Chains A and B, each alone.
Chain A
Amino acid sequence: MQTRSEQEPGRWPRWTLAAAVLIAGCGKSPNDDLGVGPKVDVKPELSTSDAVLKQPMTPAAQPATEPFEPPPLADLDAKASWIDRPVKDGLVLLRAAQAAEQVLCSVADAVALKNDSAENNGKILSALGRLPAESEADTQARIDRHVVGDLGSTNPIMISTSAEFDILGLTGFGLFSFGRDLEPFASAETVVSWQTSADGLLDKVVMRDDLVWSDGTPITAHDIAFSYTVIMDPRVPVPAVRSGTDQMKGVHAYDNQTIVFFHKEPLATNVWNINFPVLPQHVYETTWEKDPTLKDSPEHVALEQSPVVGGPYEIVDRTRGQQIVLRRRESWSSVDGKKVRDEPFFKEVRFRIIEDPNTSLLAIKAGDIHEMILTPEQWTTQTTGDDFYERNTKATAPEWVSFHFGWNIESPFFADRRVRRAMSYAFDYDEMLEKLCYGLYQPCAGNFPEDSWMSPKKKLVPYKQDLDTAEALLDEAGWIDHDNDGIRDKEIDGRLVPFEFSILTNQQPLRIAICVLMKDCLDRIGVRMNVKPVESTVLQDLTQKRKFQAYFGGWGSGVDPDSSENIWKTGAMRNFVNYANPEVDRLFEEGRRELDRAKRAAKYARIQEILYEDQPYTWLFWRNSFYGFSKRLRGYVFSPRGPFHYSPGFGSLWMPSE
């Protein structure tokens, strides 16, 4: 076990809370250049985002938390029989992993390579993904990053979109994180020890005592307990992070360093529920009661502009819609003149906000930004020449983001499973993967990634186009062209309803092209589909209100399969397609309570099989990560959640000194 003591300086926490984010607002996100649709990420690593949906955002009738009297710590210690949990440093883990890896080529060779084969991609990742040797990194460097949308808020508990996660992940304070393998741990930069009681109902964390907010006040356990209270206050319009915390009974600080999390049940997901953003109590305790929106009062407006932060970076400049500049916080790495932690590699991180992918490509070619997500078209045809390779290189790796057509089961068309299966049989997957996606994406058969532990052992076979089967299924379901107008129809409530419906998608060209391909496929079997591209925000609104017949969207898979419960459980808020299956509901319930990984896996595998049979979605493809990087950048390492959203993630990037 690589548990580290607090004396060893670690790196900053990179708490990876909100990769769970919905892509609200901008509809696109850095890890979502194609946009993953209405709500992209399935609140990946913790049960964050269903908060938005489960919990009303307006002042609610429900109590914040049930009154709860924490027992004395001595009593807890006497009864709990604590089990030690890992306290790690993501960067140290990565360094250890890299020490065991063979380097496939030299940096000079890798920089000269063109990424036109899997072999070269491997070489580039191997040579340029290395962490720096002693004093190899330029610690005065600035990195210019790319985000596709502005921040909605700089308050970490308001985190919701991927852009916010990118930025607030660097300024925010947290106790927990997870590594490249998506296994959770407490961060050695902020935590001394983490223990869980044998009954799984308690988690105890002892924090380090050398942590301060950007205004110089110490960060204590009381800040964490306070943040829990604020997050659970129904008057506070928390968009995403409440859904994990609502599974807890309470959080109590016993002294400045010791904090205990009390769970309602011994759930497998408790480990994610204790990971939530932290606010400075001394700043908000007086203002919060006066203005529970946390953004309307003059004090909160001022805080929004220059927040008091606990992470390794602080916001020093913000021009709305253009850029956000973060600077390394000296008080993160040294307290009272004593070095207590390693400082992050970059002195300054500048986020450039560019929405249009063509514009950002021009920016990276000109050297104005150092990294960006590439679309399949950009990867294949526009980043192959010297104009791109002069300053940049690119890399790819698998990522757990999948896309689908969602069929609204409450519409008259898709209530019948046979119709949904017919839709899946009608689509031309080969044409989509080869022509529209440039052969870069992988076929997808269901909601859990094929190589993940929760996926069925017997691989599900992705659907293939089979128009005969599709037509036979539609005939069987009663959709036959009765009135000889070339469109299938069916008598519903005494009225002949033609099979003509609309599909919603956002306005990205690739998505529209995929919908148009589906339109053509359905046209061939006597079904009319109208493609309706709408603004991302409109798409979100309509899907949340279930005002659609079909939509095109995507989800980032959660680190824990339980995170997709709010997509499939009957009546769940992100269950846009109104799917209802008691067996699936039961399996999610059981999966959450099952602590044995193998038995848990069997339950989720069964869910996947049921969904495969029911086809509430037509699953289309897994979208891999495709990134362009400046040749000056080093240290990028991909996880199933992309190169940034894990630990160390962004923290492993560096630039060599000239």
Chain B
Amino acid sequence: MNRAASHGFWAEAWRRYRRRPLAMAAVMFVGFLITVAILAPVIAGTKPVLCRYKGKLYAPCLGYFDRRLEPVIFTKDRFRGEYPRNLKEKDPESWAIWPLFFQDPYRSVRNNEWPGRPANPSRDEGRPSRTNLFGTDQYGVDVLAKMVHGTTVALLVGFLSMGIAGTIGIVVGALGGYFGGWVDMLTSRITEIVMCVPTLVLILALVAIVDKPTIWKTMAIIGCTGWTGIARLTRGEFLRLKSSEFVMAARAAGAGPVRIMLRHILPNALAPILVPITFGIAAAILMESSLSFLGFGPPPPAASWGSLLNDARSNLSMWWLVVFPGTAIFLTVLAYNLIGEGLQEATDPRLREARK
């Protein structure tokens, strides 16, 4: 065997994946979304990215990630959320680096808040314009700002919920598949029971019961109910692999069950498991959008693509409330599905052969 042929499984998969332009575009799109999510307060906001005030440097924009990260001095000095005017008035020496778009995802920009700029248009007058590229909603809140900040929610929902689902699914599936017998019996029954729990109803119940229904709790529920498919697939892979020669060899060498599962079987089983996880991310994003559309998403005024679509429902002539968030949801879900499909074809030897 020559050196060129001795690529590892993952390097080989990646090589094959790269050949698929659509799948690559999807990866780049998700990369773009991650960048947008991380840089959201830099892209759109009304709080300076960085400013020098009374001799010190501050980054008030961090307040968009967590309200507690916003420097207290601005509350003490009664800025009341309006930075441009107050910075100049209270410290003429101050300077600030502003976000790319001076728009807030949670409220309408007031008249002259940014020197010389009128208040955001409200009602149905907020068509896309130079100041509001994607237009504004009925209450004058900028759609672009909402979408940029909503990206964080969309991505987090996908990654976190499937992170939880993946962990639970793999553990349960691995235990059942590896040990068989009564363990398998037990885990399979648990899986079947959880499959019967309707996620949507559970989330609606949570919203009604919990005092502060946050997006984190929603993610936890999507994660805790969405692992069944992963568990079944993992179980199948483990059942198949546990009697393979390299596992027997490991066992003969004295490796314990945990080591065998983690070190020997899991890496070989991971490829097919990743596929439903990727599709699951897409499903979770859709689920969050549906929930927000129905009014059960993250508590207001949280920015979410689905809630933008919901706003559009009351006035369909405001096409910009449908087109932009709708496209964003569509593209994101499509991207994850393409990645899933790409992974499947890059890692499944049968599909690989078929494509040759």
Residue numbers of A with Cβ under 8 A of B are: 357-358, 375, 377-378, 380-382, 431, 435-436, 438, 467, 471, 481, 484-486, 502, 507, 509, 512-513, 515-517, 519-520, 523-526, 528, 530-535, 538
Interface window among B266-274, B308-316, B319-327: B308-316
Inside 8 A of B207's CB, which chain A residues have their CB?
A: 534
Contact B72 A485 (CB under 8 A): yes
- Across the interface, B300 reaches (CB within 8 A) one of A524, A533, A538, namely A533
Contact B295 A484 (CB under 8 A): no
**23 A-B residue contacts at CB 8 Å?**
A358-B313, A378-B314, A382-B315, A435-B140, A484-B76, A485-B72, A486-B67, A486-B70, A486-B75, A513-B139, A516-B106, A516-B107, A516-B301, A520-B81, A520-B107, A530-B299, A531-B299, A531-B300, A531-B301, A533-B295, A533-B299, A535-B208, A538-B208
State A380–B139 Cα separation when bound (angstroms).
Answer: 13
Contact B211 A486 (CB under 8 A): no
Inside 8 A of B315's CB, which chain A residues have their CB?
A: 377, 381-382
Per-position binary interface string of chain B over residues 97-111, scored 1 when its CB falls under 8 Å from any chain A CB and 0 otherwise: 000000000111000
Q: A435-B122, A512-B300, A513-B139 are in contact. Are A534 and B81 (CB under 8 A)?
A: no
- Distance in angstroms from B139 CB to nearest chain A CB is 5
Q: A515-B300, A528-B67, A533-B295 are in contact. Are A520 and B106 (CB under 8 A)?
A: yes
Inside 8 A of A513's CB, which chain B residues have their CB?
A: 138-139
B207: nearest residue on chain A (CB-CB)? Answer: A534
Inside 8 A of A519's CB, which chain B residues have their CB?
A: 301
B74: nearest residue on chain A (CB-CB)? Answer: A486
Contact B212 A530 (CB under 8 A): yes
Contact A509 B311 (CB under 8 A): yes
Inside 8 A of A531's CB, which chain B residues have their CB?
A: 299-301
Q: A481-B75, A486-B72, A525-B80 are in contact. Are A532 and B212 (CB under 8 A)?
A: yes
In the A-B complex, the 5 residue pairs with the closest CB atoms = A524-B80, A381-B124, A516-B301, A486-B75, A435-B122
- Distance in angstroms from B284 CB to nearest chain A CB is 22
Inside 8 A of B78's CB, which chain A residues have their CB?
A: 467, 471
Known: A515-B300, A532-B211, A538-B208. 20 other contacts (CB 8 A): A377-B138, A377-B314, A381-B124, A382-B315, A382-B317, A467-B78, A467-B80, A485-B72, A486-B68, A509-B311, A509-B314, A512-B300, A513-B139, A517-B107, A519-B301, A525-B80, A528-B67, A530-B299, A532-B299, A533-B300
Q: A377-B138, A509-B311, A512-B300 are in contact. Are A481 and B76 (CB under 8 A)?
A: yes
Within 8 A of A (CB), among B129-161: 138-140
- Distance in angstroms from B109 CB to nearest chain A CB is 12
Inside 8 A of B67's CB, which chain A residues have their CB?
A: 486, 528
Inside 8 A of A380's CB, which chain B residues have their CB?
A: 123
State A436–B301 Cα separation when bound (angstroms).
Answer: 15
A528: nearest residue on chain B (CB-CB)? Answer: B67
- Distance in angstroms from B297 CB to nearest chain A CB is 10
State A534–B140 Cα separation when bound (angstroms).
Answer: 24
Within 8 A of A (CB), among B72-93: 72, 75-76, 78, 80-81
Inside 8 A of B299's CB, which chain A residues have their CB?
A: 530-533
Contact A523 B81 (CB under 8 A): yes
Within 8 A of A (CB), among B189-233: 207-208, 211-213
- Distance in angstroms from B124 CB to nearest chain A CB is 4
Inside 8 A of B122's CB, which chain A residues have their CB?
A: 435
B interface, size bucket? 20 to 34
Q: A507-B295, A525-B80 are in contact. Are A438 and B123 (CB under 8 A)?
A: yes
State A528–B63 Cα separation when bound (angstroms).
Answer: 14
B119: nearest residue on chain A (CB-CB)? Answer: A435
- Distance in angstroms from B46 CB to nearest chain A CB is 11
Inside 8 A of A435's CB, which chain B residues have their CB?
A: 108, 122-123, 139-140
State A531–B107 Cα separation when bound (angstroms).
Answer: 14
Among B75, B124, B213, chain A packs the most CB atoms within 10 A around the CB of B75
Contact A436 B72 (CB under 8 A): no
State A43–B211 Cα separation when bound (angstroms).
Answer: 30
- Distance in angstroms from A176 CB to nearest chain B CB is 40
Inside 8 A of B301's CB, which chain A residues have their CB?
A: 516, 519-520, 531
Contact A485 B68 (CB under 8 A): yes
Contact A502 B212 (CB under 8 A): yes
Inside 8 A of A526's CB, which chain B residues have their CB?
A: 75
Inside 8 A of B139's CB, which chain A residues have their CB?
A: 435-436, 513
Inside 8 A of A516's CB, which chain B residues have their CB?
A: 106-107, 300-301
State A10–B106 Cα separation when bound (angstroms).
Answer: 57
- Distance in angstroms from B280 CB to nearest chain A CB is 28
Inside 8 A of B81's CB, which chain A residues have their CB?
A: 520, 523-524
State A180–B295 Cα separation when bound (angstroms).
Answer: 39
State A467–B122 Cα separation when bound (angstroms).
Answer: 24
A434: nearest residue on chain B (CB-CB)? Answer: B122
Among A358, A381, A526, chain B packs the most CB atoms within 10 A around the CB of A381
Inside 8 A of A524's CB, which chain B residues have their CB?
A: 80-81
B124: nearest residue on chain A (CB-CB)? Answer: A381
A525: nearest residue on chain B (CB-CB)? Answer: B80
Among B70, B72, B213, B317, chain A packs the most CB atoms within 10 A around the CB of B72
B107: nearest residue on chain A (CB-CB)? Answer: A520
- Across the interface, B314 reaches (CB within 8 A) one of A358, A517, A538, namely A358
- Distance in angstroms from A139 CB to nearest chain B CB is 38
State A136–B301 Cα separation when bound (angstroms).
Answer: 53
State A532–B212 Cα separation when bound (angstroms).
Answer: 7
A439: nearest residue on chain B (CB-CB)? Answer: B123
State A533–B208 Cα separation when bound (angstroms).
Answer: 9
Inside 8 A of A467's CB, which chain B residues have their CB?
A: 78, 80
State A216–B317 Cα separation when bound (angstroms).
Answer: 54
State A519–B299 Cα separation when bound (angstroms).
Answer: 12
Inside 8 A of A512's CB, which chain B residues have their CB?
A: 300
Inside 8 A of A471's CB, which chain B residues have their CB?
A: 78
Among B212, B300, B315, chain A packs the most CB atoms within 10 A around the CB of B300
Inside 8 A of B76's CB, which chain A residues have their CB?
A: 481, 484
- Distance in angstroms from A507 CB to nearest chain B CB is 5
Inside 8 A of B212's CB, which chain A residues have their CB?
A: 502, 530, 532
- Distance in angstroms from B209 CB to nearest chain A CB is 9
- Distance in angstroms from A409 CB to nearest chain B CB is 20
Within 8 A of A (CB), among B277-314: 295, 299-301, 310-311, 313-314
- Distance in angstroms from A499 CB to nearest chain B CB is 12
Inside 8 A of B295's CB, which chain A residues have their CB?
A: 507, 533
B122: nearest residue on chain A (CB-CB)? Answer: A435
State A378–B212 Cα separation when bound (angstroms).
Answer: 31
State A533–B124 Cα separation when bound (angstroms).
Answer: 24
Inside 8 A of A532's CB, which chain B residues have their CB?
A: 211-213, 299
Inside 8 A of B106's CB, which chain A residues have their CB?
A: 516, 520
State A78–B20 Cα separation when bound (angstroms).
Answer: 104
State A208–B262 Cα separation when bound (angstroms).
Answer: 91
State A340–B311 Cα separation when bound (angstroms).
Answer: 54
Contact A502 B211 (CB under 8 A): yes
Inside 8 A of A533's CB, which chain B residues have their CB?
A: 295, 299-300
State A484–B71 Cα separation when bound (angstroms).
Answer: 9
- Distance in angstroms from B13 CB to nearest chain A CB is 46
Inside 8 A of B138's CB, which chain A residues have their CB?
A: 377, 513
Among A481, A484, A520, chain B packs the most CB atoms within 10 A around the CB of A520
State A520–B299 Cα separation when bound (angstroms).
Answer: 14
A435: nearest residue on chain B (CB-CB)? Answer: B122
Inside 8 A of A378's CB, which chain B residues have their CB?
A: 314
Contact B314 A534 (CB under 8 A): no
- Distance in angstroms from A199 CB to nearest chain B CB is 53
State A508–B124 Cα separation when bound (angstroms).
Answer: 18
A357: nearest residue on chain B (CB-CB)? Answer: B314
B75: nearest residue on chain A (CB-CB)? Answer: A486
State A530–B72 Cα separation when bound (angstroms).
Answer: 20
B318: nearest residue on chain A (CB-CB)? Answer: A381
- Distance in angstroms from B45 CB to nearest chain A CB is 14
Contact B72 A484 (CB under 8 A): yes
State A484–B300 Cα separation when bound (angstroms).
Answer: 26
Contact B300 A481 (CB under 8 A): no
State A510–B275 Cα separation when bound (angstroms).
Answer: 42
